[in-house]
Structure 1
Amino acid sequence: MEDKKLAPDQFVSVDISEFFGPQEHKDPDAGIVVLTQHQREIYKRLIEKAKDIAPEKYESFQQRMRYLQELAKSIANFPSLLERHNIFGGERTPQSLIDSLIEHQTEGDYTLQLPSKATLGKGFLVAKIHTFSSLSKFAKSIKEPEEVWQDFSAETNSMMFSLLAEDVYLNLIHDKSIPNDFKQELATSLLLLWEHRSDQNISDIAPTLLKIWTARRKLAPAFGTMMGTSELLLLSMQLDDQWTSFIKTKLGDTGVSQAMEEFLFGISHEQIVQLKTILRTKGIPAIGRDEVSKFLGVHVKADAGLDYRDFYSLYSLRRDNARVRARMGLPGPHKTIEDYFIQFVMEQNKEKQNNDSFAK
Structure 2
Amino acid sequence: MEDLEAQNFEQVDISTFFGSEAEVSKEDSKVVIFTKKQHDLVNEIIPIVQKNNKSTAESFINRIVDLEALASAINRFPSLLERHSIIGDVRTPTSLIDSLIDHMNNGDSTLQLPSKANLGKGLLIAKMHTLSRLGREAKFLGEEKLAKELETETISSMFSLLVEDVYLNLINDTSQPLEFRREWAMSLLLLWEHWSDQNIEDVAPVLQAVWTARRRLAPAFGTMMGTSELMMISMQMDEQWIHFIKEKMGEPGVTQAMEEFLFGISYEQIKTLKNTLKTQGISAIGRDEVSKFLGEHVKADAGLDYRDFYSLYTVRRDNARSRARFKVEGPYKTLEDYYIQFVTEQNKEKQKNDTFAK
Alignment pair present for 1:178 and 2:195: no
Q: Distance in 1 between matches of 2:105 and 2:37?
A: 40
TM-score (norm 1): 0.90
Structure 2 unaligned spans of 5+: 1-25
Equivalences for 1:29-44 in 2 at 5 Å? 30-44=29-43
TM-score (norm 2): 0.91
Equivalent position of 1:320 in the other structure: 318
Cα displacement (A) at 1:359? 1.6
> Of 176, 186, 193, which aligns to 1:188?
186
SS at match of 1:73: helix
> Of 288, 291, 295, which aligns to 2:289?
291
Q: Does the C-alpha gap of structure 1 residues 106 and 69 become closer, same or farther in structure 2, counting only changes over 3 Å?
A: same
Cα displacement (A) at 1:344? 0.4
Q: Distance in 2 between matches of 1:220 and 1:106?
A: 36
Aligned residues: 333
Equivalent position of 2:255 in the other structure: 257
Equivalences for 1:245-284 in 2 at 5 Å? 245-284=243-282
Q: Distance in 2 between matches of 1:240 and 1:331?
A: 31
Cα displacement (A) at 1:29? 5.3
Cα displacement (A) at 1:48? 1.5
Cα displacement (A) at 1:241? 1.2
Q: Distance in 2 between matches of 1:291 and 1:318?
A: 21
Greater Cα shift, 129-138 or 278-287:
278-287
Alignment pair present for 1:118 and 2:117: yes
Q: Could you give the per-residue CA deviations for residues 169-225 of structure 1, whole angstroms, max 9, x where no partner exists? A: 000000111000011110000000001111111111100010000100101343240
Query: Could you tell me whether the CA contact under 8 Å between 2:218 and 2:263 is conserved in 1?
Result: no
Equivalences for 1:13-32 in 2 at 5 Å? 30-32=29-31
Q: Distance in 2 between matches of 1:89 and 1:289?
A: 58
Query: Could you tell me whether the CA contact under 8 Å between 1:224 and 1:275 is conserved in 2?
Result: no
Q: Distance in 2 between matches of 1:190 and 1:176?
A: 17
Q: Distance in 1 between matches of 2:88 and 2:318?
A: 32
Partner AA of 2:233 in structure 1: L
Cα displacement (A) at 1:40? 1.4
Equivalent position of 2:70 in the other structure: 71
Cα displacement (A) at 1:89? 4.9
Query: Could you tell me whether the CA contact under 8 Å between 2:218 and 2:226 is conserved in 1?
Result: no
Q: Distance in 2 between matches of 1:53 and 1:89?
A: 55
Runs of 4+ in structure 1 off by over 4 angstroms are none
Greater Cα shift, 184-193 or 346-355:
346-355
Q: Distance in 2 between matches of 1:292 and 1:223?
A: 8
Partner AA of 1:56 in structure 2: S
Q: Distance in 1 between matches of 2:34 and 2:278?
A: 53
Q: Could you give the per-residue CA deviations for residues 143-189 of structure 1, whole angstroms, max 9, x where no partner exists? A: 11x22111101100000001000000000000111000011110000
Equivalent position of 1:133 in the other structure: 132
Greater Cα shift, 91-100 or 212-221:
212-221
- C-alpha RMSD of the superposition: 1.4
> Of 342, 345, 348, which aligns to 2:346?
348
Q: Distance in 2 between matches of 1:243 and 1:172?
A: 19
Query: Could you tell me whether the CA contact under 8 Å between 2:131 and 2:153 is conserved in 1?
Result: yes
Cα displacement (A) at 1:285? 1.7
Alignment pair present for 1:306 and 2:313: no
Structure 1 unaligned spans of 5+: 1-26
Partner AA of 1:229 in structure 2: T
> Of 204, 209, 212, which aligns to 1:211?
209
Equivalent position of 1:45 in the other structure: 44
Q: Distance in 1 between matches of 2:35 and 2:272?
A: 47
Query: Could you tell me whether the CA contact under 8 Å between 1:266 and 1:303 is conserved in 2?
Result: yes
Partner AA of 1:35 in structure 2: F
Q: Does the C-alpha gap of structure 1 residues 344 and 283 become closer, same or farther in structure 2, counting only changes over 3 Å?
A: same
Q: Does the C-alpha gap of structure 1 residues 202 and 219 become closer, same or farther in structure 2, counting only changes over 3 Å?
A: same
Partner AA of 2:251 in structure 1: D
Cα displacement (A) at 1:28? 11
